[in-house]
């Protein structure tokens, strides 16, 4: 079939069909998005200016918050404005751009979570060598590598998708652009493209989960040698990170490991990891970490 696109504009079915429910969602999700920007933005600024938050752990936390702001802004503003629109449209180029940046930033976040787990492993299991191993140069390389890894992953995904012909229909059964819903609209067989895309994403997820689980398994084994107070302090620095990992991987696994469907619950789970989780992360780290909490209080006092 000729590689020509008759489709230049796509239509989202959205999260719900009832206009009143959509207005209610707008009222609920707009403050959530604003809280995401505010909370993660405060962490980025607090880590940048605070004299007590210059350790590698907080540098990685600041980088994670920056990724959260960018990732959320890739999907949520369009989603929120569409809640008030009768017809939810996006150009094909805009759809491809949304796919590129959501995968780019999503994988960058996964790799940053892996980096943060490795940081906790070094801090707890090799405390005497921590500052030598996690030097400023190494920290910048790890963060840069996370962004580069996300970029390479997303380039592969988008290079596979761009050549596909789209000649109708043009309705995506979702509230944002993703690969599998878009593949359903291609007027050609996309089995091989789907396999490559899933292999690309699956390999990153499996390796990342293996490193995360291994890091914390080694940490837990190592903690048996510590005193009760030492275990408490060490675990307190890990609980926030483990919580964020579960919140990120749990919903994403539910969506991407299930057979494709148009069930409303799948979209609701997508809302959780695209809208809610980016807001929860700064709250989790702030509540569990006295230093971050104090730095953000000082920053708010300066701003207010």
Give pLDDT tens digits for 203-220: 888 899 899 999 999 998
pLDDT at 11 over 80: yes
Flag whether the pTM goes above 0.75. Answer: yes
Indicate whether 202 belongs to any domain: yes
pLDDT at 2 over 70: no
Indicate whether 2 belongs to any domain: no
pLDDT at 1 over 50: no
What whole-number distance in Å separates Cα of residue 302 and Cα of residue 304?
6
Quick one: average pLDDT of 153-174? 91
Indicate whether 291 belongs to any domain: yes
> How many domains is the chain partitioned into structurally?
1
CATH code at 141?
1.20.1070.10
Which residue range forms the structural domain that includes residue 254?
Answer: 9-303
Indicate whether 4 belongs to any domain: no
Indicate whether 123 belongs to any domain: yes
Indicate whether 3 belongs to any domain: no
Indicate whether 1 belongs to any domain: no
């Amino acid at each position: 079939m000729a590689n020509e696109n008759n489709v230049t504009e796509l239509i989202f079915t959205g999260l719900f069909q009832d206009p009143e429910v959509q207005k209610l969602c707008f009222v609920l999700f707009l403050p959530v998005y604003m809280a995401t920007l505010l909370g993660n933005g405060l962490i980025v600024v607090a880590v940048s200016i605070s004299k007590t938050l210059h350790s590698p752990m907080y540098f990685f936390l600041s980088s994670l918050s920056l990724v959260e702001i960018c990732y959320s802004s890739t999907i949520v503003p369009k989603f929120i404005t569409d809640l008030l629109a009768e017809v939810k449209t996006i150009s094909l180029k805009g759809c491809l751009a949304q796919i590129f940046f959501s995968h780019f930033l999503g994988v960058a976040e996964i790799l940053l979570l892996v980096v943060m787990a490795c940081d906790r492993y070094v801090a707890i299991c090799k405390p005497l060598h921590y500052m030598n191993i996690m030097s400023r140069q190494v920290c910048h390389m790890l963060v840069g590598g996370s962004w580069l890894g996300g970029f390479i992953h997303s380039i592969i995904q988008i290079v596979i998708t761009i050549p596909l012909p789209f000649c109708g229909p043009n309705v995506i059964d979702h509230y944002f652009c993703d690969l599998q819903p878009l593949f359903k609209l291609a007027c050609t067989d996309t089995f091989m493209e789907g396999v490559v895309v899933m292999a690309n994403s699956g390999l990153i997820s499996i390796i990342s989960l293996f490193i995360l689980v291994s890091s914390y398994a080694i940490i837990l084994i190592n903690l048996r040698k510590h005193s009760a107070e030492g275990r408490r302090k060490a675990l307190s620095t890990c609980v926030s990170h483990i919580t964020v990992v579960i919140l990120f991987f749990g919903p994403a696994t539910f969506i991407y490991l299930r057979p494709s469907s148009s069930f409303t619950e799948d979209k609701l789970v997508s809302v959780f990891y695209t809208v809610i989780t980016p807001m929860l992360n700064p709250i989790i780290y702030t509540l569990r970490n006295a230093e971050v909490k104090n730095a953000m209080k000082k920053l708010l006092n300066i701003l207010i």
